């Protein structure tokens, strides 16, 4: 079976869009979470906190004709893909139009402004705000479609709109496409634009943080004093490539994706099950051909919700015991939903290659109901490791686990 390597990766987060900038912010303990004054008008929304990528201006980045089908979420995805392809040395390569390159990507939802326009039509009967591209900007597969169109990809387009596993399933399904010879390279990842509709989804579940007077310390994965998650914004795309193809063209290989698995709880739409989370990690390890004892680090999903953190910690302990260092990045970036799996895989690779792993922000008193794990806290940790696991879990009981190898 073909080996799959990462030859390019890039993204957008509330703390920046390149590893040196993000690395500096993580080392300094800075948070991308802030008070959103625009949400004060939304009286039925309890949280006023979010982690938007305010620094990223999506206006006029590309020619108007190209952007007609792009909402902000698609611009985020295309920009991340463009930078990843540039790093991989494929941005102008004829292979992009050969039919041997595809894309696997998704988001929880498309862009929300066109949805408002459709609602206006339903309420008034007037279609004034709508255009020929309104649906393209709104649809859940807007990110892979716009990536494929912008770069002229004629290979497989795999849509992974599976909430919080959109990005990780994108990576996993792209790996499978290359392994089985359906593609030589794939662009893979996820994106999410910032919108209060995403926050109110969790508000109705009483799962958002209302620590509105202390934004930087509000998101507290695994901590006993957490009171809910915070919505973030971002995108990340990886260029995945057949190892022999990458070697033949002299590309730098940044990491290897050696294992992937995904499954479903099959029990509840919003309550995660530790049993099937345990299984998905073991399936990923088996797919990678390594045992749990070889893993040097776990990038946890841990959205800073009570039921989510507890279930994940117990599943992780069942697989790895308490010896493997683990963190969650959602204290820094908030929960970027469809983007988080890709962002966390990207940054796990950066940290493996750097030899330094960020702490879990705001984890001061681990919840006693969580399993006893080696939580990375404080100033982070220097680790020289070869293998890491990145886990994500989504609404619908969808679970993913990715095994990465440093090269």
For residue 1, the model assigns a pLDDT of: 85
For residue 205, the model assigns a pLDDT of: 92
β-pair partners for 158:
104
Tell me how far apart the alpha carbons of residues 224 and 222 are, in angstroms, rounded to a whole number.
7
Tens-digit pLDDT string for the chain (407 aa): 899 999 999 999 999 999 999 999 999 999 999 999 999 999 999 999 999 999 999 999 999 999 999 999 999 999 999 999 999 999 999 999 999 999 999 999 999 999 999 999 999 999 989 999 999 999 999 999 999 999 999 999 999 999 999 999 999 999 999 999 999 999 999 999 999 999 999 999 999 999 999 999 999 999 999 999 999 999 999 999 999 999 999 999 999 999 999 999 999 999 999 999 999 999 999 999 999 999 999 999 999 999 999 999 999 999 999 999 999 999 999 999 999 999 999 999 999 999 999 999 999 999 999 999 999 999 999 999 999 999 999 999 999 999 999 99
Tell me how far apart the alpha carbons of residues 353 and 176 are, in angstroms, rounded to a whole number.
24
Contact 341, 167 (CB under 8 A): yes
For residue 35, the model assigns a pLDDT of: 98
Tell me how far apart the alpha carbons of residues 56 and 46 are, in angstroms, rounded to a whole number.
26
Cα radius of gyration rounded to whole Å, the chain: 20
For residue 137, the model assigns a pLDDT of: 97
The whole model's pTM is what?
0.97
Contact 398, 391 (CB under 8 A): no
For residue 372, the model assigns a pLDDT of: 97
Q: Catalytic positions, please?
A: 164, 301, 335
Q: 4-406 maps to which CATH number?
A: 3.40.47.10
Instruction: Give the strand pairing for 34-35 and 49-51.
Output: antiparallel
| CA–CA distances in Å: residue 59 to residues 69, 71, 162, 194, 402 | 13, 10, 27, 15, 34
Measuring CA to CA, which residue among 180, 307, 12 is closest to residue 21?
A: 12
Contact 49, 230 (CB under 8 A): yes
């Amino acid at each position: 079976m073909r080996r799959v390597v990462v030859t390019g990766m890039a993204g957008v987060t509330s703390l920046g869009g390149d590893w040196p900038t993000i690395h500096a912010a993580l080392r300094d303990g800075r948070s991308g979470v802030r008070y959103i004054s625009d949400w004060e008008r939304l009286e039925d929304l309890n949280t006023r906190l979010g982690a938007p990528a305010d620094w990223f201006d999506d206006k006029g980045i590309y020619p108007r004709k190209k952007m007609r089908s792009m909402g902000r979420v698609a611009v985020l995805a295309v920009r991340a893909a463009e930078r990843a392809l540039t790093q991989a040395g494929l941005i102008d390569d004829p292979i992009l139009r050969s039919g041997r390159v595809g894309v696997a990507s998704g988001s929880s939802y498309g862009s929300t402004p066109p949805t408002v326009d459709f609602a206006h039509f339903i309420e008034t009967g007037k279609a004034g705000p709508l255009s020929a591209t309104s649906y393209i900007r709104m649809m859940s597969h807007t990110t892979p479609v716009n990536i494929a169109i912008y770069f002229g990809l004629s290979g497989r387009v795999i849509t992974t709109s599976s909430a919080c596993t959109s990005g990780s399933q994108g990576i996993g399904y792209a790996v499978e496409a290359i392994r089985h010879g359906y593609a030589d390279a794939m662009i893979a990842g996820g994106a999410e634009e910032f919108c209060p509709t995403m926050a109110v989804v969790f508000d109705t579940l009483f799962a958002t943080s209302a620590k509105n007077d202390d934004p930087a310390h509000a998101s507290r994965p695994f901590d006993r004093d957490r009171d809910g998650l915070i919505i973030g914004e971002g995108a990340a795309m990886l260029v995945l490539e057949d190892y022999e193809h990458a070697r033949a063209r002299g590309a730098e290989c940044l990491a290897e994706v050696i294992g992937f698995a995904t499954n479903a709880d099959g029990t509840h739409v919003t309550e995660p099950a530790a049993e099937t989370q345990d299984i998905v990690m073991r399936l990923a390890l088996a797919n990678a051909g390594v045992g749990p004892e070889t893993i040097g680090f776990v990038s946890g999903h841990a959205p800073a919700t009570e039921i989510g953190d507890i279930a994940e910690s117990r599943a992780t302990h069942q697989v790895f015991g308490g010896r493997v260092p683990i963190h969650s990045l959602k204290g820094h970036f908030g929960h970027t939903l469809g983007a988080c799996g890709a962002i966390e895989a990207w940054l796990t690779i950066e940290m493996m290659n750097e030899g330094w792993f960020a702490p879990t922000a705001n984890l001061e008193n681990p919840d006693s109901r969580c399993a006893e794990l080696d939580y990375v806290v404080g100033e982070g940790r220097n680790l020289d490791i070869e293998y890491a696991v990145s886990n994500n879990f989504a609404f619908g009981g969808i679970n993913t686990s990715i095994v990465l190898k440093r090269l």
